[in-house]
Amino acid sequence: MRSRDLTAVLLRAIAAAGVLSLTACGGSATMATGAPGQIPIVAAPGAAVPYQFGANAYGVTGGAFLAKANMGSGTVALDTTQIGKVCLAGTVEMVPTPADGSHPPYSDYWGIELGFNLNQGTDSAKNPWMVPSNVGGFWFTVEGSMIPPIRFKTTPSGKDPAQEQDSCALVTPDSGVPTEVLFANMYVQCWDGPQGTAATDVSPGLLDMGLQVAAATNAEYPIDFCVTAVGVVTQ
């Protein structure tokens, strides 16, 4: 082959590789999401937390949210320059222990939660996401240098998180390694013994899911991590 023809072939190959690279980075809405059950995280321009779930086969739709306690979590902030992942940094401070021995003020120092609504309407209302029969839980991947213990949470329809009626599981994720949480292993008040105070009932649908860094009385929790992937566990 003549050198000029070889150069033309190489240029076409490089151009094709560039198109494939753009598609893999989100240039196509039909690209494969990667791991089984993965739900893409995409931009939500103009939103307070500018991320939402992208198109998926499980009927999940909703925007991200960041909730913070009134006290002890003021330094925790989003890095909104990131694309396709949700990044947090800051510190969840210790819950102060009252000198008189009274109950620590957890309601004011409960920590932070990074979550997603699961069936959010165009009017921003949170509607129940009816869990498909072949879905048995969620998985997520976090990456970063400071990943504290996490309560992975979900709120069944009709339950009030303010009354500690939502469900959770205690997990200790490793950076870059998917963490799987089955509904069968999530409990109401999961911190209260191995099986909490009640099992999780997903039959009325789920309103949201999230990762909480819960404040403690014996340690503060520096945070520097990104949620890089989220998905459902299929059976």
Give the pLDDT mean for 38-57: 95
Q: How far apart are CA 24 and CA 16, in angstroms?
A: 12
Half-sphere exposure of residue 141: CA atoms within 13 angstroms, side-chain side: 18
Predicted confidence (pLDDT) per residue in 146-184, tens digit: 999 999 999 999 999 999 999 999 999 999 999 999 999
Predicted confidence (pLDDT) per residue in 183-215, tens digit: 999 999 999 999 999 999 999 999 999 999 999
- So what's the architecture of 33-234 in CATH? Sandwich (2.60)
Q: Are strands 51-53 and 41-43 parallel, antiparallel or unpaired?
A: antiparallel
Considering the chain, what is the average pLDDT of its residues? Answer: 88
> What are 92's two structure tokens?
């969840």
| Confidence tier at 34 by pLDDT (50, 70, 90) | low
| Confidence tier at 18 by pLDDT (50, 70, 90) | very low
Q: How far is CA 176 from CA 34, 81, 126, 145, 146, in A?
A: 14, 20, 30, 11, 12
Domain boundaries, the chain: 1-31, 33-234
